[in-house]
Amino acid sequence: MDEQTIFISCSIVFALFGWYSANQVNKTQLVRLADIFVYGPYLAFLAFNKDYALGFYDKLFMLFLGITTIAYNGRNYLTNN
Residue 9 amino acid letter: S
Q: Which of 28, 63, 26, 71 is nearest to 47 (CA)?
A: 63
Write the pLDDT tens digit of every residue in 30-65. Answer: 888 999 999 999 999 999 988 888 899 999 999 999
Residue 80 pLDDT level (bands cut at 50, 70, 90): confident
Mean pLDDT (whole number) for 2-28: 78
pLDDT > 90: what percent of the chain? 44
**pTM (two decimals):** 0.72
